[in-house]
Chain A
Amino acid sequence: MAQFTLQINGTSRQVEVDPNTPLLWVLRDHLQLVGTKFGCGMAQCGACTIHLDGTAARSCSLPVSSVGNSAITTIEGLSENGDHPVQQAWIEHDVPQCGYCQAGQIMTAAAFLNQNPSPSDTEIEAAMNGNICRCGTYLRIKAAVKTASQNS
């Protein structure tokens, strides 16, 4: 067990956990931030995507001890009122079916659009390829990323 001070969604949070604990479980079990989802535990599905200093990262495979002072953003902290352009585009296209993967999809899309504000369809497809949607809402996800790129 060790103590860590994490910078999450603009706030300092302290936790005492095993240093090997993946950030995903620190968020979910210790900090009650359950918007970040558990899917596979091996960085294969993208459900657990968060931002580390603005870059998309798979929190299920990120030991808490490796995070340091990096700024962590989770879906809960992406915007104050759910009004980030990517979230707004998700509403416009009524993307989700079950909804379970969508926080991860949104976090991947938001980080991607920061790096590439005007992507082509092919670039969107490549950027979003790491996030599985079992319900198959890929066309809406792609359309929503496109819309967000035009509105941000």
Chain B
Amino acid sequence: MSTLNPKLDRRSFLKVSALAGGGMLLSFSWLAGCKPTPEQSLILPKEWFELNSYIKIGDNGVVTLYSANPEFGSNVKTSMPMILAEELGVDWKMVLVEQADFWPERFQRQFTGGSQGIRQGWTPLRTAGATARQLLINAAAQTWKVPAAEITATAGQLEHKASGKKAGYGELASLAATLPVPEEVALKDPKDFTLIGTSKKNVDLEKIITGTPLFGIDYQMEGMKYAAIVHPPAFGMKLASFDASSVNSLPGILDVFSIQLFKDEYVRNFFDTATFPELVAIVGNSTWEVLQAKKSLKATWEKAPESSFSMSGFGGNPSKVKVPAGLENTEIHLAKMAEYTSKPGNVLRRDGDPEGAFKKATKILEKTYIAPFLAHNTMEPVNCFAHVTADKAEIYGPTQAPEFIIGTIASAIGLPKEKISIKLARMGGGFGLRAYSHHMVEAALISQKAGVPIKMVYSREDDMTYGIYRPSYSATYRAALDEKNQLLALHVKAGGVPETPIHANRFPAGAIDNYLAEGWQIESNITIGAFRAPRSNFIAAAEQSFLDELAEVMGKDPIAFRLDLLKRAETNPVGENNDYDAKRYAGVLELVKEKSKWGSPAAGVHRGVAAYFCHNSYVAEVVDMVLQDKKPVVSKVIAAVDCGIVVNKDASVNMGEGAIVDAIGNALYGELTFNEGVPSKTNFHQYRMIRQQDAPKAIEVHFVESKEDPTGLGEPFFPPVFAALANSLYKATGKRFYQQPFGTQLEKEGFKV
């Protein structure tokens, strides 16, 4: 049993007044459409007792666990409360989970992103659960006048075996809530876990399948009006003027005006990305009427000059961010990327003497990989409810990161942060996009100006064309080989519009004596943002495709080649700051090799492998492909993952399946191009998304048995798929594919997609 001194951690979440706050949280959740069903009402207690910010116990033993992180589909709303419940020692059937509001004084890190929810929540949530359990034990000890150490607390029951005394948590919760927080709490030994490692179904499952309101776009309020926005038609353009009379006499239209998101003096943060800081807003009686009115709006747009804004750095002084002028074209992006590929970049890491090794090489393998901009295309379009009055603001909508936007809202509407409440809606997808919550600022400004509560909804076309995309990237890999085809050096030079995808200290750095990594970037006014495993989602594709081709040139099996490199990194690493554990990395390759029966694929099956480490988890994947009438069909994907302890087994498998499908779709079809600053696609008739018939026929997800603390799964399954797919396409078609989307390249080669 490990002990942990809670004083070492941030304290606020461990103990709050039994009177403070709980009612407020509860009341909002009902407002958000989570009214208890008649069955739930029957089990609701007469009184709740709050043991800490996360845990509330009813007098009848029902337990409410707050899920602090926003939910976008990675199932944190189920899996994180499982951690609390495990240490609290409560029967999962007695647990109600409620989404917490944004409340930084009570909750740590209400941010869903970077696959960090489970990893960073692990110790705080265990501590919160164990502390509440200890409070209940202490209450029993005081009541029964027996030593606390002799009391057990399991499945919601306290028991003192020697005296035969027993009580439910609900009976002692009122006393427990008044006791001092214990100085030290014991955490369970992982071998004693009874909940963690099992499969618990999504706590919102029944609401989802019955169409119960859950999402921001579902929110309604008496007297609420509807709003739409009109943004410039191209990146590099801005509003010149608009004619209000073109829409304000249309049926159902109440108001039309422009809004400015940022005050001149406002210093933005990293997530304050807004492509078009000035928008036209149309307010009306229904969503349909405001969406229709958009089409009639007469506005003139002009080319935006170069501009700049102040942005606070991570812990540093504000810097100026430049927004270049111009209407950009994909063809020019590609030409510029090719130009940068042939110029020296910024050296990000150098081990040994790579230049010297390349001079000595008898053979050089050099390949360049390219990927386009991608739109996130969450199924729930951008939307937000806001009700701003003279003295307060209520915001309800999809966001992964309320903390990053509350200051922007405060500045925009001129109210202090304390007067702004942000309620966290379940999100219809996120994938990184909703870390940028400019829509909350827009909705707040519209509500303030219109003087009514409003729900703003973007059309799909608005959503697909407003920016915050996955950047376009290019990476060139070079390998120097001697006359025996031994690897002498590896050189990667990679960049993008507008950022480089390189993580210089990741594998294969550390495994190669002579190694050089260079980066470059091309400025752009097309806005970018986090997209499921940022940068990794491209560089893994390039690196793992190149290693596959390199293994072939060297006459080695692709898994054996990677394992050789990892053995070197484990036993005699090159350089410093290698940011991966070579043994765990090798472990997933070993596991996928075993589970896929790598050496003996079925007849007619073409397979490719790839592995990657990002966001603290290790993943290796094998893609099996068959050719059916010149169409490559993914028959199976086998994934092996090391994420430490698995919290919610089936939900973790679901996450793996989804990420694999998502990656295959983006690798084959995902692409957004630009002509004179205008995105080439506006809706799903043009932007091909992976569909049921394109999905792999089977997916297996295997976990490395581990006692390590858990790490996240939202992102790590995603990056290696691109390369495993490319490598299997090579086996199936005899062609290497270097440019995404692969579907376009396959068609050029006469294949069907």
Contact = CB atoms under 8 A, between A and B. Distances in A.
B43 interface: no
Contacts of A91: 201, 205-206, 209
A90 B209 contact: yes
B208 A28 contact: no
A129 interface: yes
Interface in A93-140: 94, 96-103, 106, 124-126, 128-140
Nearest to A126: B693
A53 interface: no
A16 to B, nearest CB: 11
Nearest to B663: A136
Contacts of A142: 692, 695
A61 to B, nearest CB: 12
Contacts of A132: 379, 684, 689, 691
Contact of B201 (A94, A102, A136): A94
* Residue of B204, B252, B287, B696 with highest tally of chain A CB at under 10 A: B287
A41 B204 CA distance: 26
B692 A38 contact: no
Contacts of B642: none
Interface string A45-60: 1010000000000000
A149 B662 CA distance: 27
Interface string A18-46: 10011001001110111111111110110
Chain A interface extent, by class: 35 or more
Contacts of A22: 288
A28 B204 CA distance: 20
A72 interface: no
A82 B73 contact: no
A25 B286 contact: yes
Interface string B208-225: 111111110110100000
Nearest to B381: A38
B685 A98 contact: no
Nearest to A103: B211
B460 A129 contact: no
Interface stretch (B162-170, B426-434, B446-454): B426-434
Contact of B692 (A96, A128, A134): A128
B210 A135 contact: no
Interface stretch (B359-367, B553-561, B649-657): B649-657
21 contacts: A34-B218, A38-B217, A39-B380, A41-B460, A94-B199, A94-B202, A94-B205, A96-B204, A96-B205, A97-B73, A98-B73, A98-B378, A99-B208, A99-B428, A103-B209, A125-B693, A129-B691, A134-B429, A135-B73, A138-B695, A140-B654
Interface of A: 1, 17-18, 21-22, 25, 28-30, 32-42, 44-45, 47, 74-76, 78, 82, 87, 90-91, 94, 96-103, 106, 124-126, 128-142
In the A-B complex, the 4 residue pairs with the closest CB atoms? A35-B211, A136-B661, A100-B428, A98-B73
